[in-house]
Structure 1
Amino acid sequence: MKPYIDKISELIRPKGIRHEIHSFDSGAFMVDIWIKNDFYCIQLFENKFGISKVTEENGFCTIPDKTYTEWENFKTELEKVINE
């Protein structure tokens, strides 16, 4: 999943989006991103891509709001989020 972390960074870095990358011994990765006043958590695990918008109402959950098995489908969703 590490190559996808690099691809995510390539998408968000040029936009100056604040982000933090976390890796876990399990091989999973998490990317926290802040866009304006919104906080999103991207999860990469078991060849799946997940994205969640974290709010005070729903808080953080280990189960993503949306999960994708194909990079291109996930990338389309991520581009929607970062281009809002």
Structure 2
Amino acid sequence: MSSKKRKVTVTAAELEKKSRREANNIISVYLMCTIWALHTGEGFGRKRLDRVCNAIVETADDIAAGRLTAEEIRKTIAEETGFEVK
């Protein structure tokens, strides 16, 4: 058997696609956790969950487009509600 190391080349586009896929998986899991908590803990039904999901997707789009940052959201929530996200 040969002990030669193989060189693997990944293009920037392939890396970007993989990163995007992994980010989408993380977002999906987080969204499911949020939906589950709101449904089982707060009694949210289909209509409320639909509104929350739409708001989350819209916020994620704003962050991705650079119109909003997570830090801006954190600060605003703290100022308006006193709730600190750490």
Smaller-chain TM-score bracket: under 0.3
**TM-score, normalised relative to structure 2:** 0.27
**TM-score, normalised relative to structure 1:** 0.28
Higher strand share: 1
Higher helix share: 2
Which has the bigger relative contact order, CA under 8 A and spacing at least 6? 1
